[in-house]
Amino acid sequence: MIAITIQQGRLFDPANQLDVITDLHINHGRIIAIGEAPADFTASKVIDAKGMLVIPGLIDLSTRLGEPGLEHFTTIARETKAAVSGGITSLCVMPDTDPVNDTFAVTELIQRRARQAETAYVLPVGALTKGLKGEALSEMVAMHREGCVAFSQANQPVVNTQTLFNAFDYAATHKLLVMMRPIDAYLGKDGVAHRGAISSALGLPDIPSAAETLALARLLLLAEETGVRLHLSQISTARAVEMIQDAQARGLPVTADVAIHNLHLTEFDVADFASFMHVQPPLRSQRDRDALRAGVKAGVISAICSDHTPLMHDDKLLPFPESVPGISGLESLLPLLLALVREHVLTLEQAIKAVTHQPASLLGINRGSLQVGAPADIAIVDLEADWLFNRRQLISAGDNTPFHKWPFTGKVHTTLFQGRVVHQPKLA
């Protein structure tokens, strides 16, 4: 382990209300001091962070990293490299792998691959039901012991309400976190675009907002009844923000996240059938987007994620409705977040806490802050760097991004994971 000093950066940590230009010292993989170095400390490496922002490494609540199932296409090693190049040091991995992460053996495999790569903290999310089929409960306790931080159905709804009730009851018994995407099993099942002006005009099969709010109401009512700790993943509608706000106001301990692309794009971006704009949940109306932004500001939505889904070239090389939904999002999460700050949609504090200590606290992990004693997961960001996002230069195997050629200001300079430099600028 090398001792590192990050010199004269602007340390920015919403968890500790820290915003100060000073040094940060790292040893044995942990942050050991801020400001003055301890008496016996000698840095073997000094990183000059003058003029840069030093923030906790980002925590992404929804990603897909290819393993197991798509090893021929990409690996945890490659995707975590992509993550740290975008300042993300902790990643929740959705259970819709192949095979599904519904036993501790699959959880263990994911953990082993992540340990071998040693690039980022990979947090498996287990399947709530076996095979995500919504029929039988998976061995949640055993998977939790193996490292699953939460349980989810990914994109698969549980059709049988009794089974969903039981799954929540069982998770509540063991105080396990459940992360659910509100999706109705039937309404909008064959849809590919938001039910609105664009789907009407282009004749695309649509997904009404009620496909989300119906499912959300069911999840909220069952959470209330069972007492399960519920987190709502990737909400997309204005009405859902209201419903979650109401539930929170009544004291229900529910949290929610939103995918960063739903804070930027709307149904209008689908207008020329660009398959890179095909996502699930769909890009919705401008009113929905604005309500999601307001929901982040108000704290109703406490986390912003990439919902990273690397896809093979052929998956998008199809007419829009036939293309596979999803965005390769790890490398655009932070630049898109900083764009919202520059556009005065969010303050820097609101943006950073939604990808650091808020997701950490809802997962219950000791990350996402610059606290002395915490693991040294750190992103050093050059807020002034202007650059063009280019899908041909992505580290991720998936080049499926709608943000190709978007101009960004603000770029990750260096990323540290547990006190080691895992990403640094290429030598010119």
Please calculate the CA angle 70-308-341 and round it to the nearest 5 degrees.
165
Task: Tell me if 316 contacts other proteins by CB under 8 A.
Answer: yes
Choice among 23, 60, 307, 399 that is catalytic: 307
Task: Tell me if 202 contacts other proteins by CB under 8 A.
Answer: yes
SS3 state of residue 147:
coil
Instruction: Spell out a b/e string for 247-263, using b for 16 or more CB atoms within 10 Å of the CB, else e.
Output: bbeeeeebbbbbbbbbb
Distance between CA atoms of 182 and 170, rounded to whole angstroms? 20
- The tokens describing 95, both together, are 């259970």
Site residues for other proteins, window 234-273 (CB under 8 A)?
268, 271-273
CB of 292 to other proteins, least distance (A): 18
Site residues for other proteins, window 338-397 (CB under 8 A)?
none
The piece of 202-210, 232-240, 293-301, 341-349 that touches other proteins (CB under 8 A) is 202-210
- The tokens describing 102, both together, are 């519904």
The piece of 118-126, 201-209, 288-296, 380-388 that touches other proteins (CB under 8 A) is 201-209
Distance between CA atoms of 58 and 14, rounded to whole angstroms? 12
177/270 with CB nearer other proteins: 270
CB of 80 to other proteins, least distance (A): 28
173/200 with CB nearer other proteins: 200
142/185 with CB nearer other proteins: 185
Task: Tell me if 195 contacts other proteins by CB under 8 A.
Answer: yes
Helix (H) or strand (E) holding 76: helix 76-85
User: Per this entry, what is the length of the chain?
Assistant: 428
Backbone angles phi, psi at 420, to 5 degrees: -110, 145
The piece of 66-74, 149-157, 199-207, 239-247 that touches other proteins (CB under 8 A) is 199-207
Q: Which residue has the tokens 């069972």?
A: 226
206/257 with CB nearer other proteins: 206
Distance between CA atoms of 92 and 305, rounded to whole angstroms? 10
Burial of 17 (0-12, 13-18, 19+ CB in 10 A): exposed
List strand residue ranges (DSSP E) for 224-377, in order.
229-232, 255-259, 303-305
Distance between CA atoms of 33 and 147, rounded to whole angstroms? 29
Site residues for other proteins, window 134-193 (CB under 8 A)?
none
Give the max Cα distance, the chain: 69
Task: Tell me if 223 contacts other proteins by CB under 8 A.
Answer: no
- The tokens describing 376, both together, are 């040294």
Interface residue with other proteins among 17, 50, 251, 314 (CB under 8 A) is 314
40/314 with CB nearer other proteins: 314
Task: Tell me if 322 contacts other proteins by CB under 8 A.
Answer: yes
104/320 with CB nearer other proteins: 320
Active site residue 269: no
Burial of 120 (0-12, 13-18, 19+ CB in 10 A): buried
The piece of 120-128, 149-157, 310-318, 419-427 that touches other proteins (CB under 8 A) is 310-318
Interface residue with other proteins among 173, 200, 366, 393 (CB under 8 A) is 200
Distance between CA atoms of 96 and 68, rounded to whole angstroms? 10
Helix (H) or strand (E) holding 56: strand 53-56
13/315 with CB nearer other proteins: 315
The piece of 57-65, 160-168, 294-302, 315-323 that touches other proteins (CB under 8 A) is 315-323
Size of the site for other proteins (CB under 8 A): 26
Interface residue with other proteins among 51, 205, 253, 407 (CB under 8 A) is 205
Task: Tell me if 70 contacts other proteins by CB under 8 A.
Answer: no
73/387 with CB nearer other proteins: 73
Interface residue with other proteins among 105, 159, 197, 372 (CB under 8 A) is 197
Distance between CA atoms of 376 and 369, rounded to whole angstroms? 9
Distance between CA atoms of 309 and 311, rounded to whole angstroms? 6
Which residues does the annotation mark as catalytic? 307
